[in-house]
Amino acid sequence: MKDPITVKELPPQSVLNNIKKEFATSQNVASQLVVKINSFGDFNMDGIRILERFHRLKRLRAEVSFEKKWIKTVFNQRALRASSFM
């Protein structure tokens, strides 16, 4: 099995969602199952969970970046307004 920490890029979230559904409906113990994701490697349920966490971190990073840009824009606009009143 491949260590999910070492992947260079993430498989699509939809693929991970489908795998989780398959694990949930499987008759076997999910922790013993291994799934092969083409071009990414073989992962067990713990590895899939880690890859999902990476997707959450990726989304969080994008949200924080957006917020930083928004705050910077708002404060720049306020500073321009305040200087125009002087």
pLDDT in tens, 47-66: 999 999 999 999 999 999 99
DSSP string, 24-57: HH-SS-GGG-EEEETTTEEEEHHHHHHHHHHHHH
pLDDT in tens, 25-54: 876 665 678 999 999 999 999 999 999 999
**Count of domains for the chain:** 1
Structural domain that includes position 68: 4-84
Rounded CA gap, 2 and 64, in Å?
Answer: 30
Rounded CA gap, 47 and 49, in Å?
Answer: 5
User: What is the pTM assigned to this prediction?
Assistant: 0.76
